[in-house]
């Protein structure tokens, strides 16, 4: 999937812009604060219905404007439009009709974001890594979203019963369904992680050829014990704490180097390359399994990477066959590859540059 046309109105410091990006490599360059990241943020918003920088509408809507509007026309002629008010109210339309759920946006416009904040994937807790796993499983299995949603509702109900000190018999009624959906959820995650590892092998050998990285899936409870036994044996502890301690909601993606966590063994530049490899592998798996292309948003690619690694990363992104948007301060920072299109951003004005 690719974006053929993108329109922004009153989004951050962009008053109005309409661009037609290339299907391959797109460079967005300009001084700090010019609006480069806002360009990527707008694309992200069209896919997930929220920002990757702020959850406050007042910070996203241009000063003294009542709302912002985003619009995209995709390569298959689908159209996505979003308008958000200062109050937080929003309208999401797909092909002119109100969207039934935000997940429909993600399905239409699969994105991977590589930014300075992407380090949270390795440096923060397991939540970010679960979301990373679930992105892949969501796009790989059409039933995943329904299973994931049902499991979350059941887990929420169980935790509420635990806080209310409900009887074991009451909780057992919910546990039966929770086990069923939890196992389905775990099986889907395992299948996706196996596919990810296959795609990662070649990419990591290019990015970090001398680093022995091991990637494994932790399902969230002792793999030698059945899930129903986990819930029953830990019930007394769960009642004392008021929440479910173990289960699929604690799943994680473990990345290690010589049996140590990757974040404790790699340099900052190596960590960035590992993150890039993981994100690119997501797109590769999507292409292999669904014959669909992922869009890559890369903010500040040049930071923490020398020229050789910048070149390698851009070549790997290009080889995915997906649409790529990369920001930089100066085009000379990334002059090592031929760009399909370049856009200069200055004080919120986005202008396509002709070579």
3-state secondary structure of 256: strand
Output the six-digit token pair for 218: 């932790």
**What gap in Å lies between CA 319 and CA 288, rounded to an integer?**
13
Q: What letter does residue 216 receive in the DSSP assignment?
A: E
Is 32 annotated among the ligand-binding residues? yes
- Write phi, then psi, for 119 (nearest 5 degrees): -60, -20
Sign of CA dihedral 183, 185, 191, 193: negative
**Locate tokens 């391959």: which residue?**
24
Output the six-digit token pair for 222: 């002792």
Q: In what order do the strands lie in the sheet with 324-328?
A: 111-114, 295-298, 324-328, 25-29, 341-346, 349-353
Is 137 annotated among the ligand-binding residues? no
**What gap in Å lies between CA 175 and CA 179, rounded to an integer?**
6
* Cβ neighbours of residue 151 closer than 8 Å, sequence gap 6 or more: 178, 181, 182, 184, 185, 248, 249
* C-beta neighbour count of 67 within 10 angstroms: 19
**Locate tokens 């990662």: which residue?**
200
Is 36 annotated among the ligand-binding residues? yes
Give the DSSP H or E segment for 20: none
Is 30 annotated among the ligand-binding residues? yes
**What gap in Å lies between CA 100 and CA 276, rounded to an integer?**
32
Is 136 annotated among the ligand-binding residues? no
* Cβ neighbours of residue 157 closer than 8 Å, sequence gap 6 or more: 174
**What gap in Å lies between CA 43 and CA 66, rounded to an integer?**
20
**What gap in Å lies between CA 287 and CA 322, rounded to an integer?**
9
**Locate tokens 């694309």: which residue?**
43
The HSE-up count of residue 310 (CA atoms within 13 Å, CB side) is 19
Binding residues, as ranges, are 30-37
Binding residues for ATP, as ranges, are 30-37
């Amino acid at each position: 999937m690719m974006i053929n046309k993108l329109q922004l109105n009153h989004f951050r410091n962009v008053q109005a812009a309409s661009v037609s990006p290339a299907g391959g490599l797109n460079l967005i360059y300009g001084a700090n604060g010019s609006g480069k990241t806002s360009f990527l943020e707008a694309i992200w918003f069209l896919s997930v219905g929220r920002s990757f920088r702020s959850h406050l509408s007042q910070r996203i809507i241009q000063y003294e404007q009542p709302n912002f509007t985003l619009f995209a026309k995709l390569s298959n002629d689908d159209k996505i439009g979003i308008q958000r008010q200062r109050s937080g109210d929003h309208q999401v339309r797909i092909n002119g009709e109100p969207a039934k759920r935000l997940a429909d946006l993600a399905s239409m416009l699969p994105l991977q974001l590589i930014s300075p904040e992407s380090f949270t994937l390795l440096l923060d807790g397991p939540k970010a890594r679960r979301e990373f796993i679930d992105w892949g499983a969501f796009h790989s299995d059409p039933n995943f979203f329904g299973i994931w949603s049902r499991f979350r509702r059941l887990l929420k109900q169980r935790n509420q019963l635990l806080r209310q000190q409900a009887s074991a018999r009451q909780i057992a009624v919910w546990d039966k369904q929770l086990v069923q959906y939890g196992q389905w959820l775990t099986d889907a995650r395992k299948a996706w992680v196996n596919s990810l590892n296959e795609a990662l092998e070649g990419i990591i050998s290019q990015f970090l050829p001398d680093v022995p990285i091991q990637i494994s899936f932790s399902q969230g409870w002792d793999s030698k014990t059945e899930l129903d036994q986990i819930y029953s044996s830990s019930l007394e502890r769960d009642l004392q704490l008021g929440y479910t301690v173990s289960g699929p909601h604690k799943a994680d993606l473990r990345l290690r180097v010589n049996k140590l966590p990757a974040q404790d063994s790699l340099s900052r530049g190596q960590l960035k390359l590992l993150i890039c490899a993981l994100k690119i592998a997501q797109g590769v798996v999507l292409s292999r399994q669904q014959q669909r292309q992922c869009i890559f948003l890369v903010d500040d690619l040049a930071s923490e990477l020398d020229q050789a690694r910048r070149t390698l990363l851009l070549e790997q992104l290009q080889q995915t066959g997906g649409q790529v948007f990369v920001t930089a301060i100066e085009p000379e920072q990334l002059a090592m590859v031929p760009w399909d299109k370049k856009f200069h951003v200055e004080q919120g004005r986005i202008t396509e540059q002709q070579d």
